[in-house]
Amino acid sequence: MTGTLDMLAVATMLAMVSVASWTDVRHGRIPNALTVPCALFGIALWLLADGLVGLGLSLAGLALGMAPFLIAYLSRAGGAGDAKLMGAVGALLGPERALFALLLTFIAGGVIVILWALYAWAARRLTTLPQRSWRALKFLWVTGRLPFTGVEFKQAMSRRLPFAPAIAVGSALAVFWPQLGLP
């Protein structure tokens, strides 16, 4: 893909992952009304730019982006919205940049998961013994039962982690990597 069409694909991808990140964090979903039109737009751009070869490249990017997340979804380790979002990224960027975006997305996701776990651990650790004791006494008074003390950490770690921000970071880095002067 060349010049203007590439810039249009990148601008569309950046807008899409930004909106998807916001909706995933805010509502816990990535709407089909966002990902499907963007994927179709990417396929149309590649078809317009490079004909049938472009169509094949866009579809390869879509499949390459979607495949790992589809496997995660089928094994109940991820959401279908993540698969569709990464597929749309692949359709817009093509297979080469989609593969790089996948790699950077998984790295960004790993960093986010580590930060999330550290946050949950710190939240548990920063709660002082008097605070925990006071809450335990209130729980005992209200319910008549002794509380289980490990609930806060387990609750923090059991929350669903939105993955669209990791996809946004990885995809944006894949596009701007050469401009950042990184190896």
- The ranges assigned to domains in the chain are 3-180
pLDDT in tens, 171-182: 999 999 877 766
Determine the pLDDT at residue 152: 52
Is the separation of the CB atoms in 170 and 105 below 8 Å?
Answer: yes
More confident residue, 156 or 139: 139
Structure tokens at 70: 């589809």
pLDDT in tens, 92-121: 999 999 999 999 999 999 998 888 878 777
Cα torsion angle, 51, 52, 56, 62, sign: positive
pTM for this structure?
0.79
Return the closest-CA partner of residue 91 out of 172, 176, 12, 160.
Answer: 12
Return the closest-CA partner of residue 167 out of 93, 75, 117.
Answer: 93
Determine the pLDDT at residue 5: 86
pLDDT in tens, 57-69: 999 999 999 999 9
- The mean per-residue pLDDT over the stretch 65-84 comes to 92
Cα torsion angle, 81, 82, 86, 89, sign: positive
The percent of residues in the chain predicted with pLDDT above 90, rounded, is 60
